[in-house]
Amino acid sequence: MAASWRDLARCRGMDTDLFFPEPDVVPTVLEVCAVCPVRDACLDDAVAVETREGGGAYGIRGGMIASHRARLLSRMKRSGTILSASQFLTKEGA
The residue ranges that bind ligand SF4 (CB under 6 A) are 9-11, 19, 32-33, 36, 38-39, 42, 60-63
Report the 10 Å Cβ neighbour count for 69: 23
CB of 94 to ligand SF4, least distance (A): 22
Among residues 20 and 79, whose Cβ is nearest to ligand SF4? Answer: 20
Q: How many residues does the chain have?
A: 94
Among residues 13 and 93, whose Cβ is nearest to ligand SF4? Answer: 13
- Distance CA(34)–CA(29), nearest Å, equals 9
CB of 11 to ligand SF4, least distance (A): 3
Residues facing 64 on adjacent strands: 61
33 burial type by CB count under 10 A (0-12 exposed, 13-18 middle, 19+ buried) = buried
CB of 37 to ligand SF4, least distance (A): 8
